[in-house]
Structure formats: structure tokens, C-alpha cells
Amino acid sequence: MRNIIPFLAIAVLAGLFTAGCAGPEEKLGRGMRNSFEIVRMGEARRTIEQTSIFESPEIGATTGAIRGFDRSMARTGLGLVEIVTFPIPPYDPQHTKYLAPEPVYPDSYKPGLAAGSTLDTDTFTGFSGGTILPWIPGNRFRVFDN
């Protein structure tokens, strides 16, 4: 009986190390993207924009801002839950009836690649494009955007 316990332990460890980890790493990455919503505030900007367009600018400035803040906090909380529970199934996005699985942006802004040496393609001439200071909310300044 004592000889089977180390064999079972090795079999369990081998099963853990050889199993695919696409689900947990996808859930962890989605959780990290969603948890940064408190800094990015894309959900708030989108909700203010959508409320201003579909209801009225006055409602967008007040109710839309409060609704957007609530949605940003919900997305941040969902991201923290996904970070804590990333090794535990299910790995599919949760609560998609209320929030989109991925972070959202206002319709008037589509993000591009950040300017930096990691993502630059033209390293020989020293000139390349991209968003300048992408972490500043509402920043739309881009270099060499055609």
C-alpha cells in the first residue's frame, strides 16, 4: 500500500504539468485587463457617450457618469474575481449579460498600438508611429497616423 502512494502522487503531478493551460491563462489575462478598468475608465467614458447620444447631453453628464462609474466598479470587481479564481473552472467569460467580456472603449475612439521600442517596426530610421502617452484617459494624440 505504501508503494502506490508515491506512484499516484507522480501521476497526479504529471497530469497537472502536461495538461493544457490555455483556459487559466486566458482567464487570468482577461481578469487583469478588466481589473485595470479602475484606472482606464473606458466603461465610464463609453457610458457617458452613449447616454448623451441616445438620451440627452444633460442626462449623459449626470446619470451617464454615475452609471459609467458603477459599470467601471463592476468590471474591476469582476476582474479581481477572475484573477483570484483563474485556476478554477469555468474558464469562459462570466456575467456577459451585464458586461462585455473584454474592456470597452467609446465609439469615438479606437485604440492603436502604443509607441515604444517593443512595438516599433521601423528601427533602422528611428521613426515610427503610435499613440503617445496611451495611459492618459482620453488621449488621442498619435504620431504618423495616416
pLDDT greater at residue 96 or residue 146 = 96
pLDDT surpassing 80 at residue 146: no
Print the domain residue range for 47: 21-108
Cell numbers that stand for 41 in this block: 475608465
The residue among 49, 15, 96, 133 whose CA lies nearest residue 142 is 133
Do 115 and 103 lie in one domain? The reply is no
Task: Specify the pLDDT at position 95.
Answer: 82
Number of structural domains found in the chain:
2
Rounded to whole angstroms, how far apart are CA atoms 100 and 115? Answer: 27
Q: Does position 102 have pLDDT exceeding 70, yes or no?
A: yes
For residues 96 and 28, state if they share a domain.
yes
Same domain, 102 and 35: yes
Structural domain includes residue 70 = yes
If pLDDT is split at 50, 70 and 90, which confidence band does 98 have? Answer: confident
Query: Quick one: pLDDT band at residue 140, thresholds 50, 70, 90?
Result: low
pLDDT tens string 39-79: 988 899 999 999 999 999 999 999 999 999 999 999 999 99
What is the phi/psi pair of residue 97, to 5°? -75, -30
In the structure, what pLDDT confidence band is assigned to residue 20 with cuts at 50, 70 and 90?
Answer: low
The pTM score is: 0.66
